[in-house]
């Protein structure tokens, strides 16, 4: 009796990479793509290039001459502005160039602040207990540096109370005056009336105490004039 093979599907061709091999190949391809982000050395096809940098005399050179300068310094000729006429190149180590590019990108991401918007929903007839509860949360959000998007949702015939909703949002903004500034006054969009608040910078909501005025000096008493000598 013949034994049937456990796997009857198509066999993997000999020499094809395993899962780990494919992952390693992917890493190698990723590094290759990073290297091909800029044309370097023999990949530069222009006849002339403009060299910039501290280690060269800036100007326009034939690409062969620019490549020779890079070779003499043991560095790479890197095309940094291919769309310019002629293309702009820099002479430096390409791995160092990539490191500086990644570092600059990381610093830009760190400087860019992510804006977080917190939403607070009211009804047109919100009672004081619910209002104060949501006001407390809004203060916490603003102290964290988040924006607050507050809105009144009108359901069904409650749209008749839109004036009441506007008064509620204006009261909300007024109660948060110490912590927030109004970016957008109440606006009705469909069934929502929305107001947008952003946190104030620290110290911007406090009024500076006026410097005390110096006490006015008392006028000095004039010395009495000496009596004039009477003539005999």
Nearby residues of 83 by Cβ (< 8 Å), 6 or more positions away: none
40 in Cβ contact with 77 (< 8 Å): yes
For 150, the 3-state DSSP assignment is strand
pLDDT for 149 equals 92
Q: Is 50 helix (H, G, I), strand (E, B) or coil?
A: strand
Lookup result for tokens 């291919």: 82
Query: What pairing do the DSSP bridges indicate for beta strands 76-81 and 88-92?
Result: antiparallel
Q: Where in the chain is the domain with CATH 3.30.110.10?
A: 117-199
In this prediction, the residues of the chain whose per-residue pLDDT falls under 70 are: 1-36, 113, 158, 202-232
Compute the CA torsion angle 23, 25, 28, 33 (nearest 10 deg): -100
Rounded to 10 deg, the angle between the 19-35 and 94-111 helix axes is 90
**Residue 138 half-sphere exposure, CB side, CA atoms within 13 Å?**
31
End-to-end alpha carbon distance in the chain: 167
Instruction: For residue range 32-62, list pLDDT tens digits in order.
Output: 444 457 889 999 999 999 999 888 989 999 9
| Contact (Cβ atoms closer than 8 angstroms) between residue 44 and residue 36 | no
Residue 35: the pLDDT is 47
CATH code reported for the domain at 34-108: 3.10.20.80
pLDDT in tens, 124-151: 888 899 999 999 999 999 998 889 999 9
- Secondary structure in 3-state letters for 75-99: CEEEEEECCCCCCEEEEECHHHHHH
pLDDT at 218: 43
Task: Report the CATH fold assignment for 117-199.
Answer: Translation Initiation Factor IF3 (3.30.110)
Residue 165: other Cβ atoms inside 10 A: 24
Q: Please tell me the predicted confidence (pLDDT) of residue 24.
A: 44
CATH 3.10.20.80 domain residues, the chain: 34-108
Give whole-number Cα distances, 115 to 140, 147, 150, 198, in Å. Answer: 16, 7, 16, 10
- pLDDT for residue 113: 64
């Amino acid at each position: 009796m013949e034994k049937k093979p456990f796997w009857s599907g198509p066999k993997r061709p000999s020499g094809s990479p395993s899962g780990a091999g494919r992952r390693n190949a992917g890493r190698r391809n990723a590094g290759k793509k990073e290297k091909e982000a800029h044309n370097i050395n023999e990949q530069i096809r222009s006849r002339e290039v403009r060299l910039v940098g501290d280690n060269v005399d800036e100007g326009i050179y034939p690409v062969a001459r620019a490549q020779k300068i890079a070779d003499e310094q043991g560095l790479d000729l890197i095309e940094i502005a291919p769309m310019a006429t002629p293309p702009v190149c820099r002479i430096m180590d390409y791995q160092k160039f990539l490191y500086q590019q990644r570092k600059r990108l990381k610093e830009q991401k760190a400087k860019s602040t992510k804006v977080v918007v917190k939403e607070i929903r009211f009804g047109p007839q919100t009672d004081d207990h619910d209002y104060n509860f949501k006001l407390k949360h809004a203060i916490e959000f603003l102290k964290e540096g988040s924006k607050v998007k507050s809105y009144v949702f009108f359901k069904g015939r409650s749209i008749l109370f839109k004036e009441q909703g506007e008064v509620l949002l204006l009261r909300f903004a007024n109660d948060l005056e110490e912590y927030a500034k109004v970016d957008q006054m109440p606006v009705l969009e469909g069934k929502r009336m929305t107001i947008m608040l952003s946190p104030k910078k620290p110290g911007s909501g406090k009024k500076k105490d006026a410097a005390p005025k110096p006490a006015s000096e008392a006028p000095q008493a004039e010395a009495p004039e000496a009596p004039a000598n009477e003539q005999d």
